[in-house]
Amino acid sequence: MRAFAGLHRYLAGLTRARILAVAGCGVSIVGYVDYLTGYEVSVSIFYLGPVAVAAWYAGRWPGIAVAAICCVSWSITDFATGLEYSHPAIMFWDSIVRFGFFLATGLLLTALRASYVHQRHLAQTDALTKLYSRRAFHDRLEHDLALAQRYNSAITLAYLDLDNFKTLNDTHGHAEGDRVLQVTGRVLKNSVRNADTAARLGGDEFAVILPNTDSHGAQRVMANLTLELETAFTTSKFQVTCSIGVVTFLDPLMSVASAVAAADKRMYEAKCKSKGSVAFIVLGRTDQPGVATDALQSASRPA
């Protein structure tokens, strides 16, 4: 299984031209083996390998092209090994049938690939805000924590909660609430880097992962984010604010659940102190390895 997983990662990282080159090499190998074994021992099923690689990793038209190449290679090999047909039209008929078989296989794999990508996108994307879903957020946080631990770098996690959102829903209806969530999602998406992760965790709760970001960097990002949110809410005349808990981990030796719990706790502390505020905390080492210290800084805006 590890070998197949490694092969998948390798092929997925190749360009379309290199995928076609790999598929072409596969056709050549199968054709050569077919020639050595003769027409009495068929290895034609192995032509499906290059067709599958081209269709899955390069797309429809590369799959069709490789299917045609496989058909030609098969026919040439039969001719070279001395296979004689009772009628010349039979060779052309066999070629058409073979091409149809390879073509159908390639098109089915292409459709399956498209469906797989679409379903994966749906699983990773929140339908309303177009941010990462809760499941995708957990996967990315686990990955980013592991990288931060490996390279001994800081990582920051922000947990956001909309204030007075339930009141707005009850007063103006869920359609208005959905608009608030969509505006919040748009601001979050536009305020982070490509390497960062903005996600909707559910309801009116959001999170942002900032890899390789220390407390100073986190404060700059949050200052810009809170300004953008405040501007968007004011422009849209939404009677809501946003409380944010921000935790910078200097030693990310913890689980995803522990990291989220720490940021969630900090967010509630900010909300209890003053709605519409941002609370920062740094969790990490002093000069002695393994000794954890907390550094707390809070920045508030009027609710």
- What amino acid positions are annotated as catalytic residues? 204
The closest of 155, 146, 135 to 200, measured between CA atoms, is: 135
Residue 193 C-alpha from the chain's centroid: 15
Alpha-carbon distances of 212 from 148, 150, 217, 278, rounded to whole Å = 7, 12, 9, 20
59: region left, alpha or beta (phi > 0 left; psi from -120 to 50 alpha): left
- Please list the alpha-helical segments (H only) found in 81-133: 88-124
Q: At what angle do helices 165-172 and 174-191 cross, to 10 degrees?
A: 140
Q: Specify the DSSP element, H or E, that contains 292.
A: strand 292-300
* Count of H-run helices and E-run strands, the chain: 10, 6
Packing angle, helices 16-37 and 48-58, rounded to 10: 170
Rounded Cα–Cα distance for residues 96 and 93 (Å): 5
DSSP state of 244: E
What is the H or E stretch that residue 222 is in?
Answer: helix 215-236
With CA atoms as reference, report the closest residue to 230 among 243, 217, 245. 243
Please say whether the beta carbons of 224 and 164 come within 8 A: no
Tokens of 95: 């070629």
260 and 157 Cβ atoms separated by less than 8 Å: yes
Distance separating alpha carbons of residues 44 and 34, to the nearest angstrom? 7
